[in-house]
Chain A
Amino acid sequence: MHPAPSVIIFSTISGLGFGLMLFLGLGLPDVNGWVAAVFATVALGLAVIGLLASTFHLGNPKNAIYAFSQWKTSWLSREGIVSILTLGTFFIYATLWAFMDMRIPALGYLASALAMTTVFTTSMIYAQLKSVPRWNTAVTPLLFLLYAAAGGALLSNQMTVALILLGLVFAFQSLAWMQGDTALTRSGSSIETATGLGGLGKVRLLEKPHSGKNYLLQEMVYVVGRKHAAKLRVLSLLLVALLPALLILLTEVNHVIVAVIMLSHIIGLFAQRWLFFAQAEHVVGLYYDAR
């Protein structure tokens, strides 16, 4: 799949924002006044920037308003609705908390739950797709939730929780990659099933329908840069989980270290998300003998 910057930014940044909301909603860290305002603004800001970024991906944003209508079937629609609900709930919760010093726990828990639901709905946009076997697994939502929560924990300075979450990220991400590498094969789809020509023997593409590129190839048969994937995986795990964990464990965490941790985590996260897309093989690639 094409690792479009807009989608990468959207899913990473908004994930961080909703992750932070999770903790703020739970009342962590226990701050108030302008510090609370800063935390809340960061959370909201990240979520909103992320969501806005996602609209750059739209070919026809003027119809985006309809995107809230199909919650019955569409995870994307649900995401839209839940994210608005989350932002609204969190906004009320945070305003009351930061400016009126009224921290209403029930509202906070609701915001936390909604924040995680938003991340879940985002993840389901990918996880639901049978056409992308690598994504089509329960590990996808789990990982999205873990990434969001871990990022939130780091941002909210909940270092112990963060350590645990980073450990889980490490474990499940490794699992996801292991599973993912065989997902297409295990899905049962192959160039033979795609063409129905398996009975004639081994099938290969002789000529693409068009000598030039097309939307499908650009969007779904992205194979550029995959050869660096192995290195990038190591780097991503290192930056997203290992380095932050080591810094938490081995250093006296101060503002500078937190900044380093966040920077490392976010770069790692970008790498992870790039891989998430770039390594995802859409079965349409089978028609182009490319995966």
Chain B
Amino acid sequence: MTKHHQPKLDTSPVVSDEIRRTTCYMCACRCGINVHMKNGKVKYIEGNRDHPVNKGVLCAKGSSGVMQHYAPSRLKAPMKRVGERGEGKFEEISWEEAFDIAVGLLKPIRETDPKKLAFFTGRDQSQSMTGWWAQNYGTLNYAAHGGFCSVNMAAGGIYTMGGAFWEFGAPDWERAKLFMIFGVAEDHDSNPIKMGLGKLKANGAKIIGVNPIRTGYNAIADEWVGITPGTDGLFILSLIHELLKAGKVDLDYLIRYTNMPFLVNQVEGSDQFGLFVRDADNNQLVWDRATGKAVPYETLGAKPAMSGMVEVDGVQCKPAFELLAEKYLTDEYTPEAVEERVGIPADRIRSIAADIARVAFDEEITLDIPWTDWKGEKHEKMIGRPVAMHAMRGISAHSNGFQTARALHILQILVGSVEVPGGFRFKPPYPKSVEDHPKPHHDVTPNAPLNGPHLGYPRGPEDLCLEEDGSAKRIDKAFTWENPLSAHGMMHMVISNAHAGDPYKIDTLFMYMANMSWNSSMNTSQVMDMLRDKDEDGNYVIPNIIYSDAYSSEMVAFADLILPDTTYLERHDCISLLDRPICEADGLADSIRWPVVEPDRDVRGFQSVLIELGARLGLPAMVNEDGSAKFKDYADYIVNHERRPGVGPLAGWRGKDGEGKGRGEPNPEQLDRYIENGGFWQEHIQPENAFYKPWNKGYQEWAVERGIFDKESPYVFTVYQEIIQKFRLAAEGHGDIQPPEHLREQVKMAMEPLPSWYEPFEQTTINKDEYPIHALTQRPMAMYHSWGTQNAWLRQIHGRNPLYVSGEIWAEHGFSEGDWAQVTSPNGSITVPVVLMEALNAKTVWTWNAIGKRKGAWALQEDAPETTEGFLLNHLISELLPPKKDGQRWSNSDPVTGQAAWFDLRVKIKRVNAPADLQTNPSFAAQESPVGKGPKDIAFGEEWT
């Protein structure tokens, strides 16, 4: 036989001329990327190994960034609408004209009634900047998208422990031995969660996935709990019942680090009932068993009682822990009492409780790292309870999500697993107690800035944004009795409220990076109608819409003026500690994006546009004394803006010498330093400061040095929530500010200082037998909302979305492969293809989120499967619930935070013949594409291969 021949192969090709390191923005996870440049063009993108977030890995979206960067759907120039709203007919204009139009609209509003501008931003990561702009403009109608996203999670966490899951913390992936993940399909921490799960697997930890649907993370969970949607609160409280009953709670932790020993007023009927008992200096008191006296909770050496009614200055009171034990030890929460509703057998609930207790207490870990607490007490060791938990929208996007999130945090706290090794850890600038967060501000004055930040955390009814007559001050009705703690605003209500003129009419709706006529709206079909609707005079009911997008989305078609943004590789961005930073539990970090290539179109970074617009409007913080623009562009702002003296958007390399960390004067070279360092700055926390952060003196001091706080701010976890009780007292008739009659019962029910579970609202207003099925959506890991579709690689993965149907429903309705179904909710009907899925809660159907597209959008051909076979569940979901007995239509949100209750949806299903055209229903007339259509066949990389 002849010798085996092989061709010569170049195994060392030169990959690129240069690597430019910046931050990914194919989603909000903000991983570091190496952008390989060849002949001045973007060739290949990989993860940056040094980056704190992703340490080199990259998800499918991130790796397909090249296709986004070259997407045919990119907007090319500013445009003004020439057709009717929704048609997509535009004329390209110059930036000068665009600014003139914008100033022409916004200047008069500011001079007369600034609230007539509603400025809402979506998936951007510059809320500290957009908020600052809106504050300077003077409107109170500003918020980002948190209200329809996961405010329940954020507020539930902040009000309980001064930080939340979301992006505010993370499990101790290195040390956890039991990890429970509730209602997560993908989440914001996309790559970190996957990396973490990989670590847990490698370490042999156990993963319990609580989710009606078993895909993704739940697929690899060692134990899958296919819970009935909307019942997690009940399940968690039953776990708490079991743990309490067995005495498996960390009393030492509860005494030291929580308000569980605080004495609570027990004088029924008093306006102080349920509030903490305080001394003259306003200190909360505990009962010291050693001295038999009430002493301030911070008293060194006190031995607080955890039970027993005592009298303090004539007031009967009890430690909060006893209230908690009394509440959760009742038979209401036995596994038997809840099993049917949650769909988990009682034995199994017991078994999970036992697992938690076993790992928390029998597998305790200790780190030999001495540390000192805020009272000055020295500790030799750090004691870890290696039970970590994480949750997201599966809990959050229900109308009982706030209290469920609280319940979950309480479970974590009871076993002492927050901010300890192996448990859940905060990422700086968290933890931060409610008291250290702003309150909402709402005093509007023409031609002047708003009196403070728009959004915040109310401390009582006095912080609501209400007019004298009790009506809402904000267009989204945030911070009203309907949803008092709506800390992120309620973007999902803006269009319908503005359309209804309730509480008032607005003049201009200004939006940024939110596809509000499509996938981020409930009731999509009707929202499109609202945007198009005209009054008797033929004027649009919502008079003006300005919108900034980077791509030809569905929302673009409905705007009057388009301010085209660049792609993420073409602009400066700032992922700031003032905002939603990229910190890890072990360190402080922030990062930038910078133009690794210059745009080849007449587009501009939106933040720069906003700054210029601000200057043209003469907004105080954006102009110098002489009226000239204070900042050249966003890059200039990032470097030179100071929020507080010495504290600005970026924390790294501050000061003239560039040595400042967190604090220091602006450094003109700051961006260069970031770019040299791979686009980010990071500082690790010393091991002795890395745990117990709310109570760790070392951490607190360090946080002050870094500008996170201006003074040390230790606090204890507010398991018992006094602020919430204040709202409840108001509903019971105490105080000056009380809810309107029709809301009293709701406020009383929802505002419980210790969480209860209540049935999701939607199912209490409809006939559950008629609509027996839960309908959910999940995020596909390889798609980002609507904007993945324009990506030639990603759209091949998810170009259409079937409705996945549980085995039980499949059998009951006699479905077979290739079948279609009509799915009906009280709000409407859709006709869609179905697919069987066994690993699914018996009463549940689901589909991937945001795959369906409107014809003509995203530069796709009109027969794109996304438009013919894809569909949105949003048509079935209403922002208002069906009328109650009193005829009132309540909003489909959490009564505490206003969080949109996407996952409360109930439907019925019917087998139907496949439509002749095999198209899903509803289907909408095509919008015109202002950017043309994408090419037919492509071969990216031709020039290099």
Direct contact between A and B in the complex (CB less than 8 angstroms)? yes
| CB contact between A211 and one of B1, B796, B837 (< 8 Å): that residue | B796
B799 proximal to A (CB < 8 A): yes
B797 proximal to A (CB < 8 A): yes
Residues of B within 8 A of A211 (CB): 796-801, 865
A212 proximal to B (CB < 8 A): yes
A209 proximal to B (CB < 8 A): yes
Q: How far is the CA of A209 from the CA of B782 in the complex (A)?
A: 11
**Residue of B with least CB distance to A208:** B797
Contact in complex: B799, A206 (CB < 8 Å): no
Contact in complex: A212, B796 (CB < 8 Å): yes
Residues of B within 8 A of A210 (CB): 796-797, 799
Q: How far is the CA of A72 from the CA of B835 in the complex (A)?
A: 48
| CB contact between B797 and one of A72, A206, A209 (< 8 Å): that residue | A209
Q: How far is the CB of B854 from chain A (nearest CB, A)?
A: 18
Q: How far is the CA of A206 from the CA of B796 in the complex (A)?
A: 17
Residues of A within 8 A of B797 (CB): 209-211
Name B778-818 residues within 8 Å CB distance of A.
796-801
Q: How far is the CA of A209 from the CA of B1 in the complex (A)?
A: 42
Name A57-100 residues within 8 Å CB distance of B.
72
Q: How far is the CA of A210 from the CA of B782 in the complex (A)?
A: 11
Q: How far is the CA of A4 from the CA of B587 in the complex (A)?
A: 61
Interface string of B837-867 (1 = CB under 8 A from A): 1000000000000000000000000000100
Number of B residues with CB within 8 Å of any CB on chain A:
10
**Residue of A with least CB distance to B870:** A211
Contact in complex: A212, B837 (CB < 8 Å): no
Number of A residues with CB within 8 Å of any CB on chain B:
6
Q: How far is the CA of A239 from the CA of B479 in the complex (A)?
A: 82
**Residue of B with least CB distance to A210:** B796
Q: How far is the CA of A209 from the CA of B796 in the complex (A)?
A: 9
Is the contact region of chain A dominated by helix, strand, or loop, or is it mixed?
Answer: loop
Q: How far is the CB of A226 from chain B (nearest CB, A)?
A: 15
Residues of A within 8 A of B835 (CB): 206
Q: How far is the CA of A72 from the CA of B1 in the complex (A)?
A: 9
Assuming the contacts A211-B798, A211-B800, A212-B799, asked whether A206 and B837 have C-beta atoms less than 8 A apart, the reply is yes
| CB contact between B865 and one of A72, A206, A209, A212 (< 8 Å): that residue | A212
Q: How far is the CB of A271 from chain B (nearest CB, A)?
A: 27
Q: How far is the CA of A209 from the CA of B835 in the complex (A)?
A: 15
Q: How far is the CB of A50 from chain B (nearest CB, A)?
A: 31
Residues of A within 8 A of B1 (CB): 72
Name B1-46 residues within 8 Å CB distance of A.
1
Q: How far is the CB of B780 from chain A (nearest CB, A)?
A: 10
Residues of A within 8 A of B801 (CB): 211
Q: How far is the CA of A72 from the CA of B798 in the complex (A)?
A: 44
Residues of B within 8 A of A72 (CB): 1
Q: How far is the CA of A212 from the CA of B1 in the complex (A)?
A: 45
Q: How far is the CB of A202 from chain B (nearest CB, A)?
A: 10
Q: How far is the CA of A223 from the CA of B657 in the complex (A)?
A: 70
Residues of A within 8 A of B800 (CB): 211
Interface string of A246-280 (1 = CB under 8 A from B): 00000000000000000000000000000000000
Residues of A within 8 A of B837 (CB): 206
Name the residue among A72, A206, A211 with the largest chain B CB count within 10 angstroms.
Answer: A211
Q: How far is the CA of A210 from the CA of B796 in the complex (A)?
A: 6
Q: How far is the CA of A211 from the CA of B798 in the complex (A)?
A: 6
Q: How far is the CA of A189 from the CA of B802 in the complex (A)?
A: 29
Q: How far is the CB of A225 from chain B (nearest CB, A)?
A: 16
Interface string of A181-206 (1 = CB under 8 A from B): 00000000000000000000000001
Name the residue among B797, B800, B801, B837 with the largest chain A CB count within 10 angstroms.
Answer: B797
Name A207-248 residues within 8 Å CB distance of B.
209-212
Q: How far is the CA of A198 from the CA of B333 in the complex (A)?
A: 40
Q: How far is the CA of A210 from the CA of B1 in the complex (A)?
A: 43
Q: How far is the CB of A133 from chain B (nearest CB, A)?
A: 24
Q: How far is the CA of A177 from the CA of B835 in the complex (A)?
A: 33
Q: How far is the CB of A287 from chain B (nearest CB, A)?
A: 16
Q: How far is the CA of A206 from the CA of B807 in the complex (A)?
A: 12
Q: How far is the CA of A212 from the CA of B796 in the complex (A)?
A: 6
Residues of A within 8 A of B798 (CB): 211
Q: How far is the CA of A174 from the CA of B172 in the complex (A)?
A: 66
Residues of B within 8 A of A209 (CB): 797
Q: How far is the CA of A212 from the CA of B837 in the complex (A)?
A: 20
Name B204-245 residues within 8 Å CB distance of A.
none
Q: How far is the CB of B106 from chain A (nearest CB, A)?
A: 43
**Residue of B with least CB distance to A214:** B796
Q: How far is the CA of A23 from the CA of B797 in the complex (A)?
A: 55
Report B's interface with A, CB cutoff 8 A: 1, 796-801, 835, 837, 865
Q: Provide a sorted-by-A list of 17 A–B residue pairs whose CB atoms are within 8 angstroms.
A: A72-B1, A206-B835, A206-B837, A209-B797, A210-B796, A210-B797, A210-B799, A211-B796, A211-B797, A211-B798, A211-B799, A211-B800, A211-B801, A211-B865, A212-B796, A212-B799, A212-B865
13 extra interface residue pairs, beta carbon distance < 8 Å, beyond A210-B797, A211-B798, A211-B799: A72-B1, A206-B835, A206-B837, A209-B797, A210-B796, A210-B799, A211-B797, A211-B800, A211-B801, A211-B865, A212-B796, A212-B799, A212-B865
The 6 closest A-B pairs by CB, nearest first: A211-B799, A210-B796, A211-B800, A212-B796, A212-B799, A210-B797
Report A's interface with B, CB cutoff 8 A: 72, 206, 209-212
